[in-house]
Amino acid sequence: MSRPVIARSIEDVRQFAPRNGAVTLGVFDGVHLGHEQIINTLIRARRRDGIDGCYLITFDPHPLVVTHSRMMPPMLTTTDERVTLLSRFDLDGILVLQFTEDLAALDYRVFLDRYLIKPFDLKYLVLGYDCHFGKNREGSPERVSQDAAKYGIDVTVVPAVRQSDEIVSSTKIRNALIEGDVEKAKRFLGHPYLLSGRVVRGHGRGRDLGFPTANLLITDPYKLWPPRGVYAVRADVGGRLLDGMMNIGRAPTMKSLPEDARETEIHIFGLKDDLYGADLRVYCHSYLRRERQFDSVDDLIRQLKADRVEAMNRLAVD
């Protein structure tokens, strides 16, 4: 399976060479199990007569940043993280469409014609049950289905996906992470929560303790941070997924940081490479414990050794 082609503007869609296209669209924040159902419905369209390509449209930034910035929740995925997760699927192309005030003001029928029907030679459209687009979100699945039929375009509306009798949604995953329930978030996502950033220089105190760490710089202001504490993680290092553990917080035993400070440090088991300057993706598999201050450095080291054993045990069965 080849990776999908990525386009960053509607003009760039021509590189897809779309003909008889099947398309879905949405924010896809988190790329969770509900989104997966939508995407798999789209991919199965290749079995239909006359469908030659499957394409997905996502938005950057989140529409609420433009239309209702004060209502904007923290995001489960940055745009780059979303593209990384979406690229796992057997799509032909992904369009990251810049969301602007002009785009928000478009009548949904104009959007349908200008951004879906014409550029993709649209023949089949897949929408989530809660997908709305166009001015004032007037492009509901019901209205779009009626209008698309006039052009001979088939529309499938994918219903909600449930886990443990709860509807899977980005909001519920967000709330689970805020509460520290990483395991529930992982079940609803269908994959571990992803953090990504660039490795920057730290103070080397972890190395002095026998636990060298990569210090991850996360710059997206809307990215949702899990609660402070220690996590069992896997890190993507040059395409290799390596086991490790991560601390989010202020490392109070070793540092004198402000109360509201928040740093992300990853210790990758057995890795001696210097990762400074590398872009790192870290997958949060399990929450081990809260961050706390220890009476001595020796107490901290003993706890870190216990954390390492616990992280290895959890990752071994994950």
Q: In the chain, pLDDT over 90 holds for what percent of residues?
A: 83
Superfamily of domain 192-316: Riboflavin kinase-like (2.40.30.30)
Contact yes or no for 235/282 (Cβ under 8 A): yes
Q: What is the per-residue pLDDT across 124-154, written as a single tens digit (0 to 9) for each?
A: 999 999 999 999 999 999 999 999 999 999 9
Evaluate whether 285 touches 318 at the Cβ level (below 8 Å).
Answer: yes
In this structure, are residues 229 and 290 in contact, taking their beta carbons and an 8 Å threshold? yes
pLDDT of residue 257: 65
| CATH superfamily of the 5-163 domain | HUPs (3.40.50.620)
Q: Quick one: tokens of 300?
A: 């901290």
Amino acid 209: pLDDT: 86
Query: Would you say residue 256 has pLDDT above 60?
Result: no
Residue 192 has pLDDT above 60, yes or no: yes
Which residues make up the CATH 3.40.50.620 domain(s) of the chain?
5-163
Q: In whole angstroms, what is the distance from residue 314 CA to residue 159 CA?
A: 34
Q: Residue 93's closest CA among 192, 189, 36, 19?
A: 19
Rounded average pLDDT over 31-48: 95
* Stretch 293-302: mean pLDDT: 91
In angstroms, the Cα distances linking 313 to 258, 269, 286 are 33, 13, 11
pLDDT at 259: 62
pLDDT of 289 > 60? The answer is yes
pLDDT recorded at residue 254:
66
- What is the pLDDT at residue 315? 97
| Average of per-residue pLDDT values in the chain | 93
CB contact at 8 A, 173 and 163:
no
26-35, 64-73, 259-268, range with greatest mean pLDDT: 26-35
Q: Is residue 54 scored above 90 in pLDDT? A: yes
Q: What digits encode the pLDDT tens for the residues 152-174?
A: 999 999 999 999 899 999 999 99
Model confidence at 260, in pLDDT bands (50, 70, 90)? low
- The band of 177, judged by pLDDT with boundaries at 50, 70 and 90, is very high
Confidence at 78, pLDDT banded by 50, 70, 90: very high
Mean pLDDT of 10-36: 95
- 254 vs 144, higher pLDDT: 144
- Cβ neighbours around 42 below 10 Å, total: 24
**Residue range(s) of every CATH 2.40.30.30 domain in the chain:** 192-316
Calpha distance 33→76 (Å, rounded): 14
Q: Name which residue leads in pLDDT, 197 or 262.
A: 197
The pTM score is: 0.93
What per-residue confidence (pLDDT) applies to 50? 82
Is residue 186 over pLDDT 90?
Answer: yes
